[in-house]
Amino acid sequence: MNKDRVRSIIETTLTAGSKNPGLFDLPKILVLKNKLESCSSINEVITILEANRNLISKSFGLSDATFNDGLVKLKDMENSIA
């Protein structure tokens, strides 16, 4: 797994949102970030992102379409490796 590429896709998706995490969401986002950084496969990353969709979307002001676009890019990257 190319962690730099995965990080780039996630960061690009998050910056497309309309806001930044608030004070009370920030600790949850940092825990989520640590979980994502410890992943060893793209499938693990996708699973964690999907499980935390509501938190991520609300914290960063992401629409469902933007969130889904990020997941599609990650899935495409996974499929190109397999």
The closest alpha carbon to 36, from 24, 18, 23, 50, belongs to: 50
What's the rounded mean pLDDT across residues 57-62?
Answer: 96
* Average pLDDT of the residues in 14-43: 94
Exposure string for 8-23, b = 16+ CB within 10 A, e = fewer: ebbeebbebbeeebee
Average the pLDDT over 16-27 and give the result.
Answer: 94
- What does the mean pLDDT of the chain come to? 94
8 Å CB contact between 46 and 74: yes
The number of folded domains in the chain is 1
Mean pLDDT of 30-40: 95
Contact 15, 67 (CB under 8 A): no
pLDDT band at 48 (very low <50, low <70, confident <90, very high): very high
Whole-angstrom distance, CA of residue 21 vs CA of residue 24: 8
Residue-number span of the structural domain to which 70 is assigned? 3-81
